[in-house]
Structure 1
Amino acid sequence: MARIHTHARTRARTVTRPAAHARRRLRARLLTAAAGVSALLTATGCGAADMTKQSSPYANVGGTKSVTLSVQSWVGAQANVAVAEYLLDHELGYHVETVQVDEVPAWDALSQGRVDAILEDWGHPEQERRYVKEKKTIAPGGELGVTGHIGWFVPKYFADAHPDVTNWKNLDKYAKTFRTAESGGKGQLLDGSPSYVTNDKALVRNLGLDYQVVFAGSEAAQITQIKQFAKEKKPFLTYWYEPQWLFNQVPMAEVKLPAYTDACAAKGEKDPESVDCAYPTTPLRKYLNADFARKGGKAAAFLKKFRWTKEDQNEVAGMIASDGLSAQDAAEKWVKEHPDVWRKWLP
């Protein structure tokens, strides 16, 4: 999700899932590299390699065809990567790694060649200017096919009873209604992870609202709170975004903030604390390491062609987050049911 203020870098988490035959073939080749990673983890004490600093232990080992994908922490991004991973493995014969890194550090890792692709970027103009236009170490990978939008939302059952709440100018009227134990006597504006794209503290201050931004800590924790509020039919105000499968279970109405303008965005780029307008509607984009884009063969060609709809993404995301399937099982189920969609992605 677009520009962010990273308060804490997510520890990178490497997940490998080679096919059975590839696993046997790679085992002997990877012992040395795996030992090196084990030593690194012991030295760092964090349980996972920081991929902004360390190369993948599988990259270019014995001529192995491998791809490393950055996966963001929200479930929609996980759905993209799970389907791409499944098809790269089963249709094109690539070994795939996935690495979880926060949004801005992921750009650094991509530029350095620590990861090969980011499949869902919500717009980082500063990083795009630096790495795509100036350094040319990152190449555009095309649009994902999904349009992203961040905003403030209230549950539909509350908006139906209080329709004026959907105008930000009336929010202070409901500040006491949205108050919680965590909001310190003010209305609560529930956010997810501090590492996500958020202008909410600036918006609350610059619009003069009697609200406190409260971070749930992650998308999963935020979903848990929203579901609990909805179960009890309690009012809540939350930062949320589309596409998101949760809208199917908890219908919400958006609160209209002051209209987004290019002038507001330009001002915000120079001084994020000055933002006083709504979030933009953003066509979500893919980015590839520039060398990988040129030399990545069928994998690079496939990732450039990877393009699906909000409905496709929500279907996979819902299976992961709501139905309890693993990302791999959800991807496999979707792939088997939608060959007409993904076959045109293959080079």
Structure 2
Amino acid sequence: MVAIAPVGVIAADSSDPIVIPIHNWSSQIVMSNVVGQMFEEMGNNVEYITTDSQAVYESVRLGDVALELEVWEGAFGASFRTALEKGGLHDAGDHDAVTREDWWYPMWTKDACPGLPSWEALNDCAALFATAETGSKGRYLDGPVDWLKHGQERVAALGMNFQVVNAGSAAALWAEIGAAEADKKPVVVFNWTPNFAEAVWPGEFVEFPEWVDGCDTDPSVGPNPNALYDCGNPAKGYLKKAAWDGMKDKWPHAYCALTKISFTNPQIAEMAKLVDTDELEPEEAAVEWLAANRATIDPWINACK
């Protein structure tokens, strides 16, 4: 005879590990460890694997990983939408955080190029950013290649006198800013919020033509009728969670907690700071962050036991 659980009782989570992907920026790594440790508190097994930040949506869709905790609209919206259309994963809710990802400069750069944050003013000041590597063109340090920030396409679409160089990691972006700080050398790099950098180096995002839906898919959208990516990224982008469709049945308690998790800009910035400034290992940073934020996470856990 097959035992039937009483009505209203949630089935136990599988003992199989919940596979959580790890990428190449600090807040996502710490957040993944925070959530993984929450799942472990709930009695689950957790495994972490390093995964490409674009290909991860196909991995979630196929169930190779269970979830993705930082779906940034500007960086990963297109890959997320493509996977949604194929089926197998779904939107597991938004964080409270509002995101922005774009060209950015520390405030001392504005002293040398006072027309900022206008992109036209930046372009007029391109010579200030020239290096031996870029010749007469200004140097813009974009994110790692796998973040697909389309800096080169924007330069071409807007006719900018800049050369795009890709950083190898998020750490290389911070090193660029830190190296320029001593003598207040003008620099323009890819940056995003939330992260710890805004508290360390006050700065501003470059204001490009305003984002309009279709700027990345329809050449007729935006100021250049013959090019894509001729506008800035969304200034108030979402930060979502994605889940494998099978997660809610295989790990119902953990899935319940996932749908309730919603981090704020300051909370995410603190996660990154613990690694990028305080130099903790991600696992240690997660332990410290959880200890300081029990009032936030305990209700999510308790609601899903």
What interval of TM-score do these two structures reach, taking the shorter chain for normalisation?
0.7 to 0.9
Q: Which of 249, 257, 275 is the equivalent residue of 1:302?
A: 257
Determine the C-alpha separation between the residues in 2 that align with 1:126 and 1:209: 25
Determine the C-alpha separation between the residues in 2 that align with 1:165 and 1:150: 17
Q: TM-score w.r.t. structure 1 length?
A: 0.76
Q: Which residue of 2 aligns with 1:159?
A: 110
Q: TM-score w.r.t. structure 2 length?
A: 0.86
- Deviation track 1:81-113 (CA, whole Å, cap 9, x = no partner) reads 121012112x21222111221222101111111
Letter in 1 for 2:193: E
Determine the C-alpha separation between the residues in 2 that align with 1:178 and 1:229: 11
Q: Which residue of 2 aligns with 1:324?
A: 279
Task: Tell whether the 8 Å contact from 1:149 to 1:242 is kept in structure 2 after alignment.
Answer: yes
Determine the C-alpha separation between the residues in 1 that align with 2:238 and 2:117: 24
Task: Tell whether the 8 Å contact from 1:150 to 1:279 is kept in structure 2 after alignment.
Answer: yes
Q: Which residue of 1 aligns with 2:69?
A: 119
Task: Tell whether the 8 Å contact from 1:119 to 1:144 is kept in structure 2 after alignment.
Answer: no
Q: Which of 212, 230, 234 is the equivalent residue of 1:276?
A: 230
Q: 1:272 to 1:297 in 2, by over 3 A?
A: farther
In structure 2, the residue corresponding to 1:264 is in which secondary structure? coil
Q: Which residue of 2 aligns with 1:246?
A: 197
Matches within 5 A, 1:1-347: 64-89=15-40, 91-123=41-73, 124-133=76-85, 135-267=86-218, 274-280=228-234, 281-346=236-301, 347=304
Q: Could you say which structure has the greater relative contact order, defined with CA pairs below 8 angstroms and 6 or more residues apart?
A: 2
Task: Tell whether the 8 Å contact from 2:131 to 2:138 is kept in structure 1 after alignment.
Answer: yes
Determine the C-alpha separation between the residues in 1 that align with 2:43 and 2:133: 50
Stretches of structure 2 that go unaligned for 5 or more consecutive residues are 1-13
In structure 1, the residue corresponding to 2:267 is in which secondary structure? helix
In structure 1, the residue corresponding to 2:60 is in which secondary structure? helix
Decide which moves more: 165-174 or 242-251: 165-174
Shift of 1:223: 1.2
Larger fraction in helix: 1
Shift of 1:136: 2.7
In structure 1, the residue corresponding to 2:84 is in which secondary structure? helix
- Deviation track 1:276-321 (CA, whole Å, cap 9, x = no partner) reads 0010131110111101133322111111111111101111210111
Shift of 1:182: 2.2
Task: Tell whether the 8 Å contact from 1:189 to 1:214 is kept in structure 2 after alignment.
Answer: yes
Determine the C-alpha separation between the residues in 1 that align with 2:78 and 2:209: 24
Q: 1:235 to 1:106 in 2, by over 3 A?
A: same
Determine the C-alpha separation between the residues in 2 that align with 1:340 and 1:268: 48
Determine the C-alpha separation between the residues in 2 that align with 1:235 and 1:130: 38
Q: 1:139 to 1:179 in 2, by over 3 A?
A: same
Decide which moves more: 266-275 or 146-155: 266-275
Determine the C-alpha separation between the residues in 1 that align with 2:220 and 2:279: 39
Decide which moves more: 123-132 or 181-190: 123-132
Determine the C-alpha separation between the residues in 2 that align with 1:145 and 1:222: 26
Stretches of structure 1 that go unaligned for 5 or more consecutive residues are 1-62
- Deviation track 1:239-273 (CA, whole Å, cap 9, x = no partner) reads 21111111111111222111111242441699996
Task: Tell whether the 8 Å contact from 1:184 to 1:212 is kept in structure 2 after alignment.
Answer: no
Shift of 1:181: 2.2
Letter in 2 for 1:247: E
In structure 2, the residue corresponding to 1:163 is in which secondary structure? coil
In structure 2, the residue corresponding to 1:285 is in which secondary structure? strand
Q: 1:171 to 1:330 in 2, by over 3 A?
A: same
Task: Tell whether the 8 Å contact from 1:182 to 1:214 is kept in structure 2 after alignment.
Answer: no
Shift of 1:211: 0.4
- Deviation track 1:164-190 (CA, whole Å, cap 9, x = no partner) reads 031111223211110112223310011
Identity %: 25
